[in-house]
Structure formats: structure tokens, C-alpha cells
Amino acid sequence: MNLMMRSRWWSFGFRSTIMLYFIVLIILPIIGIYTQSFKLGWGPFWDSITDPLAWKAVLLTIKLSVIATVSNMLLGTMIGWVLIRYRFPGRRLLNSLVDLPFALPTAVGGLMILLLLGPNSFVGGLADKLGFQIVFHEPAIIIAMVFVTFPFVIRAVQPLLEEMDKSEEEASYTLGASKSRTFFQVIFPSMLPGILSGSMLAFSRALAEFGAVVLVAGNIPGKTLIASVYIFGEIESDNTQGAAATSVLLLTLSFIILWVVNLVQTRRAGK
């Protein structure tokens, strides 16, 4: 009886600790952001989010995040396919390097892009001779976003490819279907939930990127100033309400994305 009571108390204490952790580190900060953004009323909140610089920063962030997400959707799907379906020397090393953006500080990633593609680099100098620039312009921001979100699609697609029943693929070939038709009608539908969920997570992550982008963006208002850097500037200018209002836009969009991801995964699990 005593052991049972101890087990119940231990289980209750464990659950309480987890809930306390969740409330203190996640729920309270989210409530704080929403409270801060609306503490002066709806009018100041609306003025903050309709400020031309804020609005342009948010729109630019969304546009570049979409481009980075589409790039990762294509690259991630192909890389995930190659790493699962093919055997070649160095495959394990490449597979382990996929997670490097998760382990590497994002500021280091931005510095790498700056050194490799900056004006003083070979690639940057060649691009300058051809009449366009990479660093301190939109291409550098997209590259930084692609770098930090690189693993999402790959890691979402790989388990689906591993779990795929190869008998369906073989049956398609037996019935005379071509490789392309088999891929799009048999393989791709099985990969699609992973592609979509990984892409949406990558998009949500790209929206909030700061460390890698701030070093390569140029931060020109209305041109290369993205939302996270704009928020940082507002905090430095002691405009916490304006920073919170812009943060609420990104946070709400991220909530919607996570809800859609959860819906996709729930439907997949229910099949």
C-alpha cells in the first residue's frame, strides 16, 4: 500500500513539475507578449502594426521565408530521397551533417555566409563583376534562412521513405508503370505529409530567424530589414509596445502553422 501511495505521489509530482515547466517557460512568456502589445489599447497596437517600416518588414520576411521554404521543399525532398534510397561512400557522414544547422549557433552560420559570399570572397567578387550582389541583399537573407531550416524537410521525409511498403512500388512496376508514374502515383503521396509538415516547420522557423540574418541582411529599412531585426531595433529604441505588437503578428502566424502541422500529422496517424 505504501509503495502504491509513493508511486502515485511520485507520478503526481512529476506531472506537476512538467506542467510548471510548461507554464513558466512557454505559456507565461506568450501571455506577456500579448499583454504588452495590447496594454495601451487597440489604437496604439494598430498604429504599431500598420507602421510602414513594420509592415514592410513583416511582408519582406514572409516573402523571403516562402522562397526559402520552397527551396528547402525541393532540396530537402531530393536529399532525403538520395540518403535513404542510395548507398555510396560517405553517406553516413552526409546524413549526420544534415543536423549541423541545429547544432551550430546561427550567428556562426551568418558569419560563414558572409565569409563565403561577401564582397571580399571569390564568389562575391564574381557576382559583383556580373552586376549583382549577394551579401547585404535579399539573396543572402534567403541563403541564411535556407541554411537554418535545412534539416526540417529532410528529417520529415526520411522516416516515411523508410516505412514505405516496397511491395506497392514493385507491383506498380509489374503492372507496367514507368518510374516517373510510379513515383508520382505511389511514392510521392506517401512522402507528401512529411514534405508538407517539414516545409511548414521550416517556414515558421524562417519567420523568426535573427542570428544568421542580421550579419548578412544589410538591415536597410524597407528593403532588407526583416521582422526579427526590426523587433530588435524597436527594443533598442525603448519601444517595447511596438516590438511586442510586431511579435504578436509573427507569433500568431506561427501558431496557425503549428496547428496545421498538427492537423496533417493527426490525419496521417489516423489512416
Mean pLDDT, residues 211-228 taken together: 84
- For residue 269, is pLDDT > 60? no
Residue 114: in which H helix or E strand, if any? helix 106-117
Task: Tell me how crowded residue 46 is: count the other CB atoms within 10 A of its CB.
Answer: 11
The most confident of the ranges 7-16, 118-127, 176-185 is: 118-127
Categorize the per-residue pLDDT at 3 as very low, low, confident or very high, splitting at 50, 70 and 90: low
pLDDT at residue 66, rounded to an integer: 92
- For residue 241, is pLDDT > 70? yes
Per-residue pLDDT of 121-180, as tens digits, reads 888 788 888 877 888 888 889 999 999 999 999 999 988 888 877 777 777 777 777 777
- CA of residue 78 relative to chain centroid, distance: 18
Categorize the per-residue pLDDT at 44 as very low, low, confident or very high, splitting at 50, 70 and 90: confident
Categorize the per-residue pLDDT at 71 as very low, low, confident or very high, splitting at 50, 70 and 90: very high
Q: Scan for cell 544547422, then name that residue.
A: 101
Mean pLDDT, residues 183-202 taken together: 85
pLDDT at residue 73, rounded to an integer: 92
- For residue 69, is pLDDT > 70? yes
pLDDT at residue 13, rounded to an integer: 64
- For residue 21, is pLDDT > 80? no
Report the distance separating Cα 39 and Cα 153, nearest Å: 39
pLDDT at residue 259, rounded to an integer: 82
- For residue 97, is pLDDT > 70? yes
Return the DSSP state at 121.
Answer: S
Report the distance separating Cα 233 and Cα 240, nearest Å: 10
